[in-house]
Amino acid sequence: MALQLTGIHHLTAITADAPANLRFYTQTLGLRLVKKTVNQDDTSAYHLFYADAHATPGTDVTFFDWPVGRERRGTHSIARTGLRVGGGASLAWWRNHLKSRCAFTGQITEIGGYFSLDFEDFEGQRLRLIDDGGKGEAHPWDRSPIPAEHQIRGLGPITLSVPELRPTEAVLTTVMNMRQVRDYPSPDGKGHVHVFAMGEGGPSAELHVAVQPGLPVASQGAGAVHHVAFRTPDVETMHEWTDRLASFRLPSSGEVERYYFRSLYFREPNGILFEIATDGPGFTADEPLATLGEKLSLPPFLEPRRASIEAGLKPLA
């Protein structure tokens, strides 16, 4: 059987206000802060991970905290992040909840085969709640301000914007072994969206590619997505992906040990940064599940620098 990715692993975005980001994603969206650490390549910046109660792979929305201006929207980018909820009643609940928190919110409508609700966070991060029909596992967090039945269950489809489909499609299908399953008009009226599935498919394992040649080239900043990561089960399959990228002469980072998972980075032809990440060992590698995210965690190679790293970080409270 061909080597397969099993779904979305995590998505990493950019914030210029870590304290406000923490409030929005834990208090307004009700996610759990499962890891408070730093960007391993820039230890002056927080790297905050929000997920479900068990910090399950496929539920992580993460942020780098960088002092930057707002993004310039456009193509050559990751344009919207899907988040799964368990039914139409949840979408209606979320629309009322988000409006009460003054979040920019659209209407509940069918998009790409799913009933959906688009909204934005305080920096313009574009998000979409997806009704996944209650399929698959759910791990509600008992300390979330969101009722258990309405909590976000994990990542849903991630939408890219590209000016031309063919180069991206070639990487997705020929290199990454995804399959094109359907298409639909872009809800903003700007282009057409092509759906690519991986593994068993479904909303947690889809990449939606909007072809939008009329848009300007995006510029990253606060409110933008930095990269999307795809799941592979273990280090053995990671080695296979490393060899596969090399066989296509696709430039990559090589395998990078992130301590909580192993990563492999590369760019698709429009410059969008992709990552393949292992499911394990996970965020309990250095903290008990019960107290995840309550203190600053550092991988072993950064631990000797803890005092200087902590002194350079802004308080989150």
Q: Are the CB atoms for 206 and 6 separated by under 8 Å?
A: no
Q: Are the CB atoms for 7 and 230 separated by under 8 Å?
A: yes
Does 156 map to a domain?
Answer: yes
Does 185 map to a domain?
Answer: yes
pLDDT score for 136: 79
Q: Report how far residue 219's alpha carbon sits from residue 289's, in angstroms, rounded to the nearest whole number.
A: 37
pLDDT score for 14: 98
Tell me the CATH number at 187. 3.10.180.10
Alpha helices in 122-251 (DSSP H): 165-170, 235-247
**What is the domain extent for residue 307?**
8-311
pLDDT score for 37: 98
Give the C-alpha distances (Å, rounded to integers) separating 240 from 26, 170, 243, 291. Answer: 36, 19, 5, 34
Q: How many folded domains does the chain comprise?
A: 1
Does 57 map to a domain?
Answer: yes
Does 85 map to a domain?
Answer: yes
Does 1 map to a domain?
Answer: no
In DSSP terms, 184 is beta-bridged to: 193
Q: Give just the sign of the alpha carbon dihedral 235, 236, 237, 241.
A: positive
Q: How many residues are recorded in the chain? A: 317
Does 2 map to a domain?
Answer: no
pLDDT score for 129: 98
Does 193 map to a domain?
Answer: yes
pLDDT score for 132: 95
In DSSP terms, 263 is beta-bridged to: 256, 277
Does 316 map to a domain?
Answer: no
The answer to pTM > 0.75 is: yes
b (16+ CB within 10 A) / e for 235-263: eebbeebbebbeeeeeebeebeeebbbbb
Q: Is the peptide bond before 281 cis (omega within 30 degrees of 0)?
A: yes
Angle CA(137)–CA(160)–CA(38) in degrees, nearest 5? 70
Task: Please report where in the chains the tokens 């929000």 appear, as a residue.
Answer: 50
pLDDT score for 274: 99
CB neighbours (10 Å) of residue 215? Answer: 18
How much of the chain is helix, strand and coil, in % rounded to 5? 20, 40, 40
In DSSP terms, 207 is beta-bridged to: 158, 196
- Residue 140 C-alpha from the chain's centroid: 19
**Please, which residues have CB within 8 angstroms of residue 100's CB and are 6 or more apart in sequence?**
none
- From first to last of its 317 residues, the chain has per-residue pLDDT tens of 799 999 999 999 999 999 999 999 999 999 999 999 999 999 999 999 999 999 999 999 999 999 999 999 999 999 999 999 999 999 999 999 999 998 889 999 999 999 999 999 999 999 999 999 988 789 999 999 999 999 999 999 999 999 999 999 999 999 999 999 999 999 988 889 999 999 999 999 999 999 999 999 999 999 999 999 999 999 999 999 999 999 999 999 999 999 999 999 999 999 999 999 999 999 999 999 999 999 999 999 999 999 999 999 989 98
**Please, which residues have CB within 8 angstroms of residue 242's CB and are 6 or more apart in sequence?**
252, 254, 255, 264
